[in-house]
Amino acid sequence: MTEPELASGLLGSPSPRPGTTYRLLRVVWRACAWVLRADLVLEGAEHLPRDARGRPAGRWIAAVVPHRTWIDPFVPWILLPERPRFSFFGDARTMARSPLRRFLMRRLGGVIPIPAGRDPRTVEVHMAAARDVLAAGGVFMLMPETGPASAPGELRRLGGGMAYFALRNEAPIVPLVLGGNEQVYLGKRIILRVLPPIDPRELAGLRPDDPLPRPGSSEERRAAHRLTEAFAARVAADVADVHARSVPPPGTPIRGRFLTTLFR
């Protein structure tokens, strides 16, 4: 029997305004963090993009690294400003495993399901979703790592999607570095460090007045490769440092290890 999954494409509106379900779920996640006695620490909030009035601004890509467990997207959702809202990728099957999940995802909106199959046509669907979110003033969240797991404090290999999203939309990338997210248990300390926004042209080795490479061209592929490598080098030290600072002292009792795999 085929496992159900949500269809590709952005669910709901790309609006940067948080809807009622978005706000309510944010309260629920904060309450869950309190029940779990999670020690959530935000660093570098001053690096978040802001408008001329000093208010949180959108039209940027939130690159969350490293991706370890189910809790990863919820940490920035809890700690960062409610508006502009996040729109983010999610596994199409995980989000469809129960009628309740399907109902919540459709009410929540701002979700781009990733189907299990490898259909090349979904690439353009995802590109269009990112373009709509960024153009509307929202924040497009992704977790750019791919491939096998890496050691704590180290990045996995990065996929090229982040580079194409950033270059084609000329959207700044804001690295959101997580530490302590390799396990979830009662009282766990998890750090979220916001790094300064990065110009995708800079990462790709392009000058401000250089034309962007033509979509689908070999020049674009080379630029995306340079961007991905430069991003990995830029965040590596922070990934290691945030992890080291989240490690509990020796002898700390660890209770509730089952939470790590609760929502797989």
Please write the tens of the pLDDT for every residue from 138-157: 999 999 999 888 899 999 99
- CB of 14 closer than 8 Å to CB of 135: yes
Q: What residues pair up with 174 in beta bridges, in sequence order?
A: 62
Q: Are 165 and 88 in contact (CB under 8 A)?
A: no
Average pLDDT, the chain: 91
SS3 115: coil
What is the pLDDT at residue 257? Answer: 86
Q: What is the pLDDT of residue 261?
A: 83
Q: Is-above-0.85 flag for pTM? A: yes
Q: What is the pLDDT, as a whole number, of residue 220?
A: 95
Considering only CA atoms, give the Rg of the chain.
Answer: 18
C-alpha atoms less than 13 angstroms from C-alpha of 224 in its C-beta half-sphere: 22
DSSP E strand stretches across the chain = 39-43, 60-65, 86-91, 111-114, 139-142, 145-146, 157-158, 173-179, 189-194
CA separation for the pair 62, 78 (Å, rounded): 14
Q: Give me the pLDDT at residue 114, please.
A: 82
Phi first, then psi: give them for residue 59, nearest 5 degrees.
Answer: 65, 40
Question: What integer pLDDT is reported at residue 1 of this predicted model?
Answer: 57
Looking at residue 149, what is its pLDDT?
Answer: 84
Maximum CA extent, the chain: 56
pLDDT for res 177? 98
Spans of the chain below 70 pLDDT: 1-2, 263-264
What pLDDT was estimated at residue 258? 87
